[in-house]
Amino acid sequence: MRRRLILLGPPGSGKGTIAARLQQEFGIHHISSGHLLRREVEEGSTVGQRARLFLEKGELVPDGTVLTFMRGWMKSAPLESGFMLDGFPRTLNQGKALDVWLAERGAPVEAVILYACDLKIILDRITGRWSCPKCGRVYHVYSVPPKVAGICDDCRIELTQRADDREPVVRRRFGIYARQTKPLAKYYEHQGKLTVVDAALSPDERFAKTVAALN
Ligand code: ADP
């Protein structure tokens, strides 16, 4: 099985869900740059202070900051049991830097899965997504609604929406993805590593196609 992976796709294409399952079933380590950056913002670290406004506006954190930050994480990425990168690289420049880091360790990326998805599906998925500020449980107005609208089933407090999950911001994130991140698909296609999976399929189908691509 190929175990050094990149998951590509627009925001809301379901990369995180697939990654969680791959980690659980095959022990491949999930590295989400968005999650790591949001944690820095919450902690108010230097990186977090530099990144905060970009995250809130749904814009890319500049390469200088992201590259230094992710290089640190990649130093400890497990090469044998494997890792999957979700949200990084997001620009051609980041992709090239990653290739250099991994070449230094003689362990190149083995497969890249692109979850292709159009804007309409993404808007439905993301703008309906709400979570509990206390326990982190994620709900969806259509697919996973709470028992009482807007209230966490467990904590009984009001659900909140990620600042960058509001519709205008989602549209902007999608545009940025199309311009800056999509060119990476060609880059990996030329390397013979790319598989495209339709992100509109059910979670089980997406997972099965992903596993098939890794074997
Ligand atoms: P999504 O994939 O749903 O857009 P992420 O959780 O991957 O969300 O990322 C959230 C935000 O974190 C991005 O909008 C961006 O501001 C920042 N970010 C994450 N990864 C990167 C990256 N590789 N380069 C630049 N900014 C990033």
88: Cβ below 6 Å to ligand 1? Answer: yes
Residue 159's closest CA among 134, 122, 142?
Answer: 134
Q: Is residue 138 in a domain?
A: no
111 pLDDT exceeds 90? yes
16: Cβ below 6 Å to ligand 1? Answer: no
Q: What are phi and psi of 158, to 5 degrees?
A: -70, 135
Q: Is residue 73 in a domain?
A: yes
11: Cβ below 6 Å to ligand 1? Answer: yes
CATH (domain of 178): 3.40.50.300
For the segment 154-165, what is each residue's pLDDT rounded down to a tens digit? 999 999 998 888
85: Cβ below 6 Å to ligand 1? Answer: no
Domain total for the chain? 1
Residue 157 CA to residue 154 CA, distance in Å, equals 8
* Full-model pTM: 0.88
124 pLDDT exceeds 90? no
Task: Name the residue with tokens 């202070």.
Answer: 49
| Residue 4 falls in the annotated catalytic set | no
Q: What is the pLDDT at residue 29?
A: 96
Cβ atoms within 10 Å of 156's Cβ, excluding its own: 11
| Residue 57 falls in the annotated catalytic set | no
Residue 80 CA to residue 94 CA, distance in Å, equals 23
Q: What is the pLDDT at residue 142?
A: 84
Sign of the dihedral defined by the CA atoms of residues 59, 118, 86, 92, in that order:
negative
171 pLDDT exceeds 90? yes
Q: Is residue 19 in a domain?
A: yes
Q: Which domain holds residue 171?
A: 4-126+167-214
Q: Say how many Å lie between the CA of residue 55 and the centre of ligand 1.
A: 7
> Which protein residue has the closest C-alpha to ligand 1 atom 16?
55
Residue 106 binned pLDDT confidence (cut-offs 50, 70, 90)? very high
Ligand 1 pocket mutation pick from 36, 41, 90, 165 by most atoms within 8 angstroms of CB:
90
Q: Is residue 77 in a domain?
A: yes
Mean per-residue pLDDT, 129-157: 91
In one-letter notation, the amino acid at residue 100 is V
Strands (E), 77-191: 83-86, 111-116, 129-131, 138-140
Q: What is the pLDDT at residue 25?
A: 97
Q: Is residue 113 in a domain?
A: yes
Q: Is residue 14 in a domain?
A: yes
Q: Is residue 132 in a domain?
A: no
For the segment 52-83, what is each residue's pLDDT rounded down to a tens digit? 999 998 899 999 999 999 999 999 999 999 99
Residue 17 binned pLDDT confidence (cut-offs 50, 70, 90)? confident
Q: Say how many Å lie between the CA of residue 28 and the centre of ligand 1.
A: 21
Dihedral of the alpha carbons of 47, 48, 50, 53, in degrees to the nearest 10: 160
| Residue 156 falls in the annotated catalytic set | no
208 pLDDT exceeds 90? yes
| Residue 2 falls in the annotated catalytic set | no
